[in-house]
Amino acid sequence: MACQAKALTLLLSILVVSFCKPSDGAGIAIYWGQDGYGGSLYDTCASGNYRFVNIAFLSIFGNGRNPRLNLEANCDPNAGGCTWLSNGITSCQKQGIKVLLSIGGRSGNYSLSSADDAIKVAYYIWNSFLGGHESSSFRPLGDAILDGVDFYIDTGSGLYWDDLARALHGFSGQRKVYLAAAPQCLFPDEHLDTAIKTGLFDYVWVQFYNNPRCHYSGDANNLLNGWKQSWIKVQANQVFLGLPAAPQAAGGFIPVDVLNSQVLPSINTSPKFGGVMLWNKYFDNEYSDGIILDGTKLISPA
Ligand SMILES: *[C@@H]1O[C@H](CO)[C@@H](O)[C@H](O)[C@H]1NC(C)=O
């Protein structure tokens, strides 16, 4: 009897461990904050569909510029109107979902003018969004401490992003500062290659969109070749397939049944495959619900 009870306890703990560890296996990273109101961060994370949320974008920074967040219709960060997002960020983190600040974007105004400038920007990010304790700093997203920084550098030169990565990584102490990069799919990426080569990035989610030379366009040959020959080999803990969440979101949309049957089976074989990144929450009406990772279809709670 006692023995049976012990066996049952053991079985239950194995089940609990295998079902309750959100950091294992593949998952979905979503961009939030661009194009329109993407729903609250609380609801985004409560859907159960995502493992990473990138708050996009810190779109103006570097070279002496006054740094500015742009979260479009979601809230106005510059009048202090986004500090309430801290509650959503904390609720995401309680579910094991990592929340990153995404810097850059397609329509921002940003660049780094020197290694010193990179260090200045790193201190600004540390004090304004991460664990910095400089009490004089304004924190646009309130007191919540974000898990790290995502480099979505689409314009300008490739200079000094490696310095920024090293400086941000240098703040990892009691609490790790996670680093992510979103290079465009043509390899090597002109903006982020040097930074990625530092080996400091935990996650690289490749933008397989808005570039017909490497995104999906009726067939997945270019995408799969780029993935296998180059991207899966970059020095990062995990590599993600970045895709539009809807045809209107970006060029290179892959219908979800095609993704599940013709694309994911050829790329999810590597232990470095981290999952799928989606651009972006505003457009993700049902796409993430249909993605099959690790043989389990994601179904959001009703
Ligand atoms: C971008 O920032 C620079 C430096 O602050 C400024 O001179 C320039 O006018 C800005 N460009 C745009 C398009 O806002």
Q: What's the pLDDT band for 24 if we cut at 50, 70, 90? A: low
Residue 52: strand pairing partners: 29, 98
Structure tokens, 225: 């070749």
Structure tokens, 13: 């703990």
Structure tokens, 222: 């270019």
18 against 162, higher pLDDT:
162
pLDDT for the residue 162: 98
pLDDT for the residue 296: 59
Q: Whose CA is nearest to atom 8 of ligand 1?
A: 109
CA 225 to chain centre: 23
Q: Does ligand 1 come within 6 angstroms of the Cβ of 109?
A: yes
**Can you tell me the distance from the alpha carbon of 27 to that of 79, in angstroms, rounded to the nearest whole number?**
34
**By the 8 A CB rule, do 255 and 216 touch?**
no
Q: Which of 155, 252, 180, 201 is nearest to 29 (CA)?
A: 180
Whether pTM exceeds 0.85: yes
User: CB-side exposure of 77: number of CA atoms within 13 Å?
Assistant: 22
Q: Does ligand 1 come within 6 angstroms of the Cβ of 65?
A: yes
Is the confidence at residue 232, as pLDDT, over 80?
A: yes
pLDDT for the residue 29: 98
Task: Read off the pLDDT of residues 71-100 as tens digits, 9 standing for 90 and up.
Answer: 998 999 878 899 999 999 999 999 999 999
HEC string of 134-168 equals CCCCCCCCCCCCCCEEEEEECCCCCCCHHHHHHHH
Q: Whose CA is nearest to atom 1 of ligand 1?
A: 109
pLDDT for the residue 6: 57
CATH class, 28-297 region: alpha beta
| Mean pLDDT score, 239-268 | 97
**By the 8 A CB rule, do 103 and 150 touch?**
yes
**What distance in angstroms lies between residue 67's CA and the mean position of ligand 1's atoms?**
12
* Cβ-Cβ contacts under 8 Å for 84 (sequence gap 6 or more): 75, 142
Q: What are phi and psi of 241, to 5 degrees?
A: -90, 110
Is the confidence at residue 2, as pLDDT, over 60?
A: no
pLDDT for the residue 300: 46
pLDDT for the residue 34: 97
**Can you tell me the distance from the alpha carbon of 192 to that of 271, in angstroms, rounded to the nearest whole number?**
23
Structure tokens, 202: 């935990």
Domain boundaries, the chain: 28-297
Q: Does ligand 1 come within 6 angstroms of the Cβ of 107?
A: no
Q: What's the pLDDT band for 104 if we cut at 50, 70, 90? A: very high
State the DSSP H helix or E strand holding residue 57, giving kind and residue range, or none if neither: strand 52-61
